[in-house]
Amino acid sequence: MTVLISVWGASPGVGKSTLCGGLARRLAGAGLRVDHFREEEVLTRPQFAAVAEAFRTTGTVGPGLLIAATAEFVDSVLASGVDVVIADALVPFVPTLLAMGRDEETIDAFLTDLTRVLAPVSPVMVFLDGNAGSALSRAAGREGEGWLDRYVGKLARYEVRPPVTDVASAVTYLARERAVTLAAVARNGWNVVVIERADELPPGEVLSAAERSLRPWWAERGAAARGE
């Protein structure tokens, strides 16, 4: 049996990619077969080729295309015999849909379909919570000069609500993105682990907190992998 661990967060810079890397190493070290799906791989994974092409040619991606790509990905994961997928900012696609101007009713309907498609890989979300303004500052320090302006500019070009024009409005928008994401997965019965104040904690503490919360899922997979 396979489990999908989806890692999301309140803002860029909150530590999603760092946590994904740490979890992937720990689980592989425990003898599990791990597929670490990095955020940028959505443009190169073969199952998401149609999504990448649509985004390149039109700048938008429809819900149906996301569902179809995810279904292909789930089939490929099950065929590969992977125990755990660590997905960095992939599903549930809520920020993508918000950026394309989709309303919350459309997002709820999409999540209902997505939950059905993901059922064979027992999804659990790890949500790194924290102060979006602080996390953005951390991301800007890591990525270098000009990153924050480019990030704000990207949001400004999308159809997000409330509109983004500067850092303050980006923080306001990220608060809405957080609320819509958590509410949508809760209504669809996802297992969700929320790690509070992730932007304030050292990466090792975030990893330990995630490990403790996820242990029931990977202990079951580890036993299955060992034939117990």
pLDDT digits (tens, 9 = 90+) for 176-228: 999 999 999 999 999 999 999 999 999 999 999 999 999 887 666 555 555 55
Half-sphere exposure (CA, 13 Å, Cβ side) for 219? 6
Pairing of strands 3-9, 34-37: unpaired
pLDDT reading at 10 higher than 70: yes
Average the pLDDT over each of 27-31, 115-119, 130-134 and give the range with the smallest value. Answer: 27-31
131 three-state secondary structure: coil
User: What is this structure's pTM?
Assistant: 0.93
CA-to-CA distance for 98 and 194, rounded, in angstroms? Answer: 21
Q: What is the mean pLDDT of the chain?
A: 93
% residues pLDDT > 90 (the chain): 89
Cβ neighbours of residue 168 closer than 8 Å, sequence gap 6 or more: none
Q: Which residues pair with 190 in a beta bridge?
A: none
Phi, psi of 35, deg, nearest 5: -110, 110
Buried b (16+ CB within 10 A) or exposed e, 71-93: bbbbeebeeeebbbbbbbbbbbb
Stretch 144-165: mean pLDDT: 94
CA neighbor of 177 nearest in space, from 135, 124, 116, 117: 135
200 three-state secondary structure: coil
